[in-house]
Chains A and B, each alone.
Chain A
Amino acid sequence: MEMKPLTRLLLGLVCLLVAIWLVAPTLVVVPMSFNENKSLAFPPQGFSWQWYQNFATSPEWSASFLNSLKVASVVAVLATVLGTLAAFGLDRMKAGPAGLLRMLMLTPMVVPGVVLAIGIYAVYLDTHLVGTMLGFVLAHTILALPFVLIAVSASLEVFDRRLETAAASLGAGALTAFRTVTLPLILPGILSGLLFAFATSFDEIVVSLFITNPYLKTLPVQIFSSITRDADPTVAAVGTILLFATTILIGGGMLLLGRERKGPQ
């Protein structure tokens, strides 16, 4: 559509502002993490690595980081297995029931976090799961499941079922056909589901805040209590580390996917 130069300029300016609004807030933790003073006031004073050192040496921070890693790894595997199985099931079901079940399985995405949190907390109090690894894994898995379901379903949608039929007609059993034909073709979907599940669990905070206890905290819970308790710049150092880690992870994933798409086809 033709636009006057003035309209074009205005549009560009507005979008630049929106882009800054989207991106800049995430970068502000970087300078804060090198602050010499123990405060989150802006602008930061001087330069020091002490908050990174504090993160590496403080038992509180490193324990919560390790807990998050452990929980997220187990959740990623569990959610990916359950989600992939479910995506296959729904893909092969009649449209009516499949639609209903799919909607049901996506509910964790829309139920308000706090409502879910008090519900799970109530049940965990009765079953002694508060502050346990198992408790965290179960809750996070159900929250990560929708993302796996969406990712795997998307790649199943473009997957040509006739390839399986062809494999079967050449004598492959159901499992062999799945392993040698279906799985390699939908692997990108499964892997991105795995990544999403890991990220969801690593980042989950609302339910975690309710089912945590002083002996078992995850990193987001530790970050949250650090923000509410004091202005400790360690939290900015942690934020910076997470920012770089996720950027590398996502960047690597994108490169990998890009290469795969350009690859043998």
Chain B
Amino acid sequence: MSASDPTNGSVAQPAAEGRPGWAWRPFALALPALVLLVAVIGYPLFTIVLRSLSEPQWGLQNYAWFFGASVNLTVLQRTFAISAWVTLVCVIAAYPYAYLMTAVGPRIRLALVLCVLIPFWVSGVVRTLSWVILLQDSGVINSLLRAAGFDGIKLIRTQTGVVIGMAQVLLPFMILPLYSVMKGIDLRLMRAAQSLGARPSRAFFTVYLPLSLPGVYAGAIIVFILALGFYITPALLGGPRSTMLSTLVQTQVLSLLQWGRGGAMGVVLLVATFVLLALAAPVMRSRYREAGRR
């Protein structure tokens, strides 16, 4: 990090520090990480795109096959449907929870925050194992139902089971952005609305809810994107009628050795993810700008 490095004299350029050579130095610091990124993420993804276009021969036949077979379209549709359900469940559960976090004293808030963070730090595989124990036919939920005199219900290997498990795993990603937006809402606005004669419910729907929507949007996009690519939870909790796209990719590649077809599916999943991210970007950016103004 010495300023008299002989190799940088030629790119001398007055930078923030006013010393020659500082302009390229930040890039050099980031370079090792960048090289690893290109080697372990960039190149593999490039390989997958290439294989989807070239195996068994060059052309778009893998994509034609994917969008031509009704089985694939069913799974694609189901992947989006399950992700939408998970997102909806998360919004419904997270909204009151995040609101309560803003409305209570510091002690209860700490307890609520801990409840959100615990799923974060418990190993993902262990959490899914817990859901297997809870949802199986001889599991906790069915044992409780039978003890209460009801019939057991089929939860594992069903779409409902997958949604319940996935939503629990993803709920923190919904609660945290929502809380950070709600925290910034000025509650005096609500009091003003009420002092002007609005009933609490009307004040909530016309003032509070619209102000909290950016948080809902940000959380929902994150949850939806993460849900689209979920693999472990559907693999362990789901059955043949709740297969998601990622399982199909795995089957094509590992069991059928159809690298082209598996690759094409992977590219579809990747494109869907990035399109959603692009949709989310403007909202996130405007949120940052607002945060900056505050």
- Which positions in A face B, CB cutoff 8 Å? 1-4, 7, 11-12, 14-15, 18-19, 21-23, 25-29, 32, 39-43, 82-83, 85-86, 88-93, 97-98, 101, 104-105, 107-108, 110-123, 138-139, 141-142, 145, 149, 173-175, 178, 199, 202-203, 205-206, 210, 220, 223-224, 227-228, 235-236, 238-239, 242-243, 246-247, 250
A87 to B1, CA, bound (A): 16
Question: Does A111 lie within 8 Å of B41, measured CB to CB?
Answer: yes
A4 neighbours in B (Cβ, 8 Å): 200
Question: Does A114 lie within 8 Å of B36, measured CB to CB?
Answer: no
Question: Does B41 lie within 8 Å of A142, measured CB to CB?
Answer: yes
In the complex, the number of residue pairs spanning A and B with C-beta atoms less than 8 Å apart equals 257
Q: Which residue of B lies closest to A226 (CB)?
A: B129
Supply 11 further A-B pairs (C-beta < 8 A) apart from A1-B203, A85-B30, A89-B27: A1-B187, A3-B200, A12-B100, A29-B133, A43-B143, A93-B30, A111-B270, A122-B48, A123-B43, A174-B3, A239-B129
With an 8 A cutoff between CB atoms, is B168 at the interface? yes
B73-108 residues with Cβ-Cβ distance < 8 A to A are: 93-94, 96-97, 99-100, 103
B69 neighbours in A (Cβ, 8 Å): none
User: What are some 10 contacts across the A-B interface (CB < 8 A)?
Assistant: A2-B200, A22-B115, A22-B168, A25-B134, A26-B126, A29-B126, A113-B230, A118-B263, A122-B259, A224-B232
With an 8 A cutoff between CB atoms, is B269 at the interface? yes
Question: Does B273 lie within 8 Å of A111, measured CB to CB?
Answer: yes
Question: Does A1 lie within 8 Å of B236, measured CB to CB?
Answer: no
A89 and B28 in contact (CB under 8 A), knowing A114-B231, A115-B229, A145-B36? yes
With an 8 A cutoff between CB atoms, is B33 at the interface? yes
A113 to B273, CA, bound (A): 12
Question: Does A115 lie within 8 Å of B249, measured CB to CB?
Answer: yes
Of all A-B residue pairs in the complex, the 3 with the closest CB atoms, nearest first, are A112-B229, A119-B44, A89-B29
Q: Which residue of A lies closest to B268 (CB)?
A: A115
**Among the listed A40, A112, A149, A205, which residue makes an inter-chain contact with B273, where contact means beta carbons less than 8 Å apart?**
A112
With an 8 A cutoff between CB atoms, is B26 at the interface? yes
Chain B: number of interface residues, binned into ranges: 35 or more
A26 and B122 in contact (CB under 8 A), knowing A113-B231, A114-B246, A118-B266? yes
Question: Does B32 lie within 8 Å of A1, measured CB to CB?
Answer: no
A119 and B47 in contact (CB under 8 A), knowing A18-B93, A41-B138, A104-B37? yes
A19 and B200 in contact (CB under 8 A), knowing A111-B41, A112-B273? no
Question: Does A236 lie within 8 Å of B133, measured CB to CB?
Answer: yes
**Among the listed A86, A98, A118, A242, which residue makes an inter-chain contact with B126, where contact means beta carbons less than 8 Å apart?**
A242
Question: Does A243 lie within 8 Å of B126, measured CB to CB?
Answer: yes
- Which positions in B face A, CB cutoff 8 Å? 1-3, 16, 22, 25-34, 36-37, 39-41, 43-45, 47-48, 51, 93-94, 96-97, 99-100, 103, 112, 115-116, 118-119, 121-134, 136, 138-140, 143, 168, 171-172, 187, 190-191, 194, 200, 203-204, 208, 225, 228-232, 236, 246, 249-250, 253-254, 259, 262-263, 266-267, 269-270, 273, 277
A85 to B254, CA, bound (A): 37
B203 neighbours in A (Cβ, 8 Å): 1
Question: Does B125 lie within 8 Å of A22, measured CB to CB?
Answer: no
Question: Does A40 lie within 8 Å of B41, measured CB to CB?
Answer: no
Question: Does A22 lie within 8 Å of B3, measured CB to CB?
Answer: no
Question: Does B47 lie within 8 Å of A29, measured CB to CB?
Answer: no
B132 neighbours in A (Cβ, 8 Å): 40, 227
A50 to B175, CA, bound (A): 39
Question: Does B246 lie within 8 Å of A112, measured CB to CB?
Answer: yes
**Among the listed B1, B97, B208, which residue makes an inter-chain contact with A178, where contact means beta carbons less than 8 Å apart?**
B1
A65 to B47, CA, bound (A): 32
Q: Which residue of B lies closest to A161 (CB)?
A: B16
B93 neighbours in A (Cβ, 8 Å): 18, 21
